[in-house]
Amino acid sequence: MSMKADRTVLCMGILTDGVMGGGCSCKIGPSDLRRIMCGISFPKNDRLIVGMDSPDDAGVFLISDDCAIIQTVDFFPPMVDDPFLFGRIAAANSLSDIYAMGGRPVTALNIFCFPVGKIGQEYAKEIIAAAAAALKEAECVLAGGHSLFDESVKYGLAVTGTAEPSCIKRKGGASVGDAVILTKPIGAGVVSTASKAGMASERQIRLMTDNMAFLNRRASEIMSSFHVSACTDITGFSLFGHLYECAVCSGCRIDVDMSAVPVLEGAPELASMGLMPAGLYRNRDFYSPHVSCMPIDSEAGEITYMMMFDPQTSGGLAIFVPESEQEEIVRRMNSEGVPAACIGHVSRKGEPPIRSFFARCCYRLMKRISKTEIMDGARDYR
């Protein structure tokens, strides 16, 4: 049998069969999570400079005056049936929090749930081999891990990184006048939902998976050359959800031009067919009271607005830089294969914390080709 034939047999719907949702769309909703965590007392340490009292992407512990460790953990069920691709995406997603905080990943631990006896062990090998390849690309070593028998597959990594304390990037710190740079298109939750329903094209699925498998390493390295005031990565709580946290932590308001937000090709059309994940509705219900929007008088506008609440898996970074550096950071990222775009600016504190609008026609937004074209066909993670 050829490798292509082998992979066809290997990827015939087994990983996602029976899975209610995959990727970061499976996160516990923000409203439920807040109720669960409310009132719990956690241990304190003066060297824990970023911890449970803030919504930052990772914890930060001060080792010395010139060294801090950054710690994060992520795992989830598969959103694709190719085990190698799933392992790659899960690893990229787990590494992303370190990059968002301005750090360099150093070590990682496997977190693996697998139904031994129900699914062939070749799937497990493929998942872990893919993660190992992603870690090699990130120059991060696998130090161990933990596995459990489970009825369904779940995989991810606990990652430790390092950074100089003065170089740590947080959600708070954005300044009035800053430009907001997004480094990947959104829409992965919608395309993943459509894929599971058999409604997404091969091209749409490939663009989505290329997007999710792409490490945020280069974007993080490039941003270190600019005056970044705040940063976060866009994952399960959506673009608006994570920007809301930045606005609240920074004591400002963020103005988002929805017509400037890069969207995966075909995602708005799929969303207009009702192919939206449950996580999108949970995000909308929780965050929409904190978002103002200009009057919308078209279906395209309504769909675009809904896309802002789409849960992302291994999404891009939202980077805040002075307006004077906006064009240069986008130009440099685009020239190095990072599909970055400026999507808004920071204004003075006001209610609600997110103010959204359209600077261009929604119809053009629905029809345009995603910036993912920059990455189209350029990667083979094997």
Active centre residues (catalytic): 24
Backbone angles phi, psi at 304, to 5 degrees: -60, -45
Run of H or E including 229: none
C-alpha 121/C-alpha 114 separation (Å) is: 9
CA–chain centroid gap for 177, Å, is: 25
Determine if residue 116 is left, alpha or beta; phi over 0 gives left, psi from -120 to 50 gives alpha, anything else beta: beta
Residues in the chain: 382
C-alpha 185/C-alpha 180 separation (Å) is: 14
Residue written as token pair 């359209």 = 358
CA–chain centroid gap for 169, Å, is: 16
In the DSSP assignment, the letter for residue 263 is: B
Which among 252, 253, 317, 346 is positioned nearest to 291, based on CA atoms? 253
C-alpha 17/C-alpha 26 separation (Å) is: 15
Partners of 154 in the beta sheet? 113
Residue ranges of E strands in the chain: 48-50, 59-64, 67-76, 104-114, 141-149, 154-163, 179-182, 230-233, 253-257, 291-293, 317-321, 341-347, 354-357
Contact 142, 108 (CB under 8 A): yes
